[in-house]
Structure 1
């Protein structure tokens, strides 16, 4: 039976996205450190393989069933999510990093546009409340632009278009996550199928690209990458399953705030006034969005 959502639980459910934001920021730091030695395909593989092995071991240990009547939807979610990831990596390779991240983080705005049609089973906000949700999503994105300062050039139209498509693909993947949750699919099963497809596909990618010999010194970094990615995926899946979609979308911008703080602490980066203003906008609109789940 499809699950019925209790609006009084939405705010708490949405806060899982903050935990996911911390994890994704740590994952980004691991990717930045690992990129000096490993290719993109290898990093995707190790990130996915760790999660797949961990979830598979948990499923085997607890005797959880993998059979699901929603296998087609699970594979669509995994395929769309992996496609968005590939587009994002292409954008990273051909655009300034800040520009690629900004384009990928258009996903909350696509969610705001798509949710009235694709998430009809969720309690829908109306009138002023719906307008405030949309303002929070757009306002948070303005904060992202202030913080990252994306730059575009004329010869980057293709890469920019694909980067924008990565944002749309991510939004569609989150819609699938929400729909699976509304049908009663557990978080671990959704993450299992996603990591399974990503592991197999990125493993094939490695075969045609490059395989870097592993050293003992690489284990802590790759373990941190896999652990942070797995915990983030589980937390994000739970956030979209149990929280209000647009509130979770607003809180998704927190990843950039946490990543910026890690850069300040770990790499000694400094913040300008407009970057501080961008962080405050993201935080402010995120708080405003969570308050709307009470009304």
Structure 2
């Protein structure tokens, strides 16, 4: 039974979704003591250390040619900024709302792919995009009517830049780049970028102690497990099935938010989440050539 679960892409994606939602919880908890830059730093350095150990033990090479390096850097910069915006949204919005806005990435990935390949929009792609944008408008409407409009835009920007990052990940995969090297460079750039932002922030750095180290540990462990689980799920399963299960993160985040902070969303928000999830699933079904 255990071996069957290990071979199941669905199992790994559900585990990844659960851990991504837990990561969001730790970001929310950590925001009371740490800045966004500090949270991103601790989230990324754990994965960087783990992958670096694997590189050393297995004698893998990190060398790439110049065109591939440029592609890595494009993916890394987009992914790093997306992560910063995502954490900012989590800190200032209800957790399910922030997670859902970040999961607009399939919508933007569809638009980026069509623009890059210079293809005309097909009716079914137009339908998926319209459904997604209707969901975004419904979800952002109460946000723009409050002081949280900036956080809402940040969350949406996270989805846009995540779409750019996933597009570059797909190009790296098509070029034969191993997944571990893609994750390594992303972790390296994000850790370095967050460290630079930490050195520039006006507020003093928060030092680790017995009262907050459990937050950092939980953030790093949950993020690393989620990343590994998602990578394994996409490498072993059908893209549409795995992409559909990815929206379980929104469900888990909603449950955690209700239990921990008594965050209650309106029915309109739940409808908007469903529309955005439908857009993502339809986009995955209509783009067989792109791995999300």
- For residues 126-145 of structure 1, the aligned pairs below 5 Å read 135=127, 139=131
TM-score in terms of structure 1 length: 0.72
2:255 to 257, 261, 264: 261
Counterpart of 1:51 in structure 2 is 47
Counterpart of 1:112 in structure 2 is 110
Q: Equivalent residue of 1:151, what SS?
A: helix
Counterpart of 1:36 in structure 2 is 32
**Alpha carbons of structure 1 residues 184 and 31: separation in structure 2 relative to 1, 3 Å:** same
**Alpha carbons of structure 1 residues 271 and 262: separation in structure 2 relative to 1, 3 Å:** same
203-212 vs 80-89, which moves further: 80-89
Are the equivalent residues in 1 in contact too, given 2:17–2:226 (CA < 8 A)? yes
Equivalent residue pairs, number: 276
Counterpart of 2:3 in structure 1 is none
Counterpart of 1:206 in structure 2 is 198
**Alpha carbons of structure 1 residues 149 and 23: separation in structure 2 relative to 1, 3 Å:** farther
160-169 vs 236-245, which moves further: 236-245
2:172 to 162, 177, 180: 180
- Deviations 1:144-192, CA, capped at 9 Å, x for gaps: 7767874214988777656544332111011011111122222221111
278-287 vs 18-27, which moves further: 278-287
264-273 vs 214-223, which moves further: 264-273
Q: For the residues of structure 1 that align with 2:152 and 2:182, how far apart are their CA atoms?
A: 30
Counterpart of 2:223 in structure 1 is 229
1:169 aligns to 2:161 (yes or no): yes
Counterpart of 1:22 in structure 2 is 18
76-85 vs 271-280, which moves further: 271-280
How big is the alpha-carbon RMSD for the aligned residues of Structure 1 and Structure 2? 4.2
TM-score in terms of structure 2 length: 0.73
**Alpha carbons of structure 1 residues 89 and 278: separation in structure 2 relative to 1, 3 Å:** closer
Unaligned 5+ residue runs, structure 2?
A: 1-7
48-57 vs 82-91, which moves further: 82-91
262-271 vs 36-45, which moves further: 262-271
Q: Equivalent residue of 2:182, what SS?
A: helix
Tell me how far 1:82 sits from its aligned partner.
1.2
Are the equivalent residues in 1 in contact too, given 2:89–2:154 (CA < 8 A)? yes
Q: For the residues of structure 2 that align with 1:183 and 1:80, how far apart are their CA atoms?
A: 19
Tell me how far 1:233 sits from its aligned partner.
3.0
1:79 to 77, 80, 87: 77
Are the equivalent residues in 2 in contact too, given 1:51–1:226 (CA < 8 A)? yes
